[in-house]
Amino acid sequence: MATRAANKRLTREYQTISKNPPPFIVAHPSESNILEWHYILTGPPDTPYHNGQYWGTLIFPADYPFAPPAIRMHTPSGRFSPSTRLCLSISDFHPKSYNPAWEVSTILIGLLSFMTSEEMTTGSVGATEAERKKFAARSRWWNSTGGGSWKADGKFQKGNIKAGDGGAKFRAEWLELEEENWKIMKEDRIDPYTGNAAPESGAATACAPGMGLTRPSGSQAIAETVREGGAVVVGEGSWLRRNKLLIAGVVIFIYVAIARMFGDGSGSELQ
């Protein structure tokens, strides 16, 4: 339970950050616990996180501002391990380096600055720029569906973000953003279970009756079937795989023919 000093300080800071939010940052305390704050960082331009929606929590100690909060980011980003306490000079990993004059806005500005750098610490992860851009593109889907754990009947494990809560915790804290996210997903035809865009109506989704086509991504090496001018061009190696029995038969036939030829010649000389 928050002390009177912590309650007064956090109430004032909420008023300040609501009136003058720092660029790319919004935050508020939970209605049920003023020591539990939820923030959204929007990925800045010219970074791999551009337009990403990164949701996380600040859990303040009862004696704040004389001790720092625990900092977590729940949304996968390619920068931090989801829902893991981050070791930063502004977090509870380093209480001795914390300055009581720092406010919630100071902490979140520092977090955003660290996120867009390449420094590593406890809770950091390594990823390529392309991977981070992919996480950014899927961030709204992840937040509002609990990473695909959303269920149409609403029967999910509430509040347990790591186990997959169907987006329940995000929905409870960010209702307006939740509605906006679902609107965007509907417009972009995003499957709430997979986060992938659904095919356009009438578009071909199979390369043969009963066979779905999954397009490879990244460095996945497979032979693709493509259509050119109505003719099917088969990827390298597929013809050999499909006709391996025929090839084996031809090889055996040639081998037997050669063996008989040399066998007949040897018999004539002995006679």
Residue positions annotated with a catalytic role: 87
3-state secondary structure of 207: strand
User: Residue 185: how many CB atoms within 10 A of its CB?
Assistant: 18
Torsion sign (Cα): 92, 140, 25, 35 = negative
Hey, what long-range contacts does 94-99 have (CB within 8 A, 24 or more apart)? 94/68, 95/67, 95/68, 98/67, 98/68
Q: Which of 59, 58, 64 is CA-nearest to residue 2?
A: 64
Q: Which residue in the block uniquely carries the two structure tokens 């990244």?
A: 218
Residue 266: both structure tokens together: 């040897």
- Is omega for the bond preceding 65 within 30 degrees of 0, making it cis? yes
Q: Provide, for the chain, the percentages of residues in helix, strand and coil under a 3-state DSSP scheme, each rounded to the nearest 5.
A: 35, 15, 50
Cα separation of 21 and 38, whole Å? 14
Residue 52: both structure tokens together: 């990403």
3-state secondary structure of 231: strand
Q: Which residue in the block uniquely carries the two structure tokens 């084996």?
A: 248
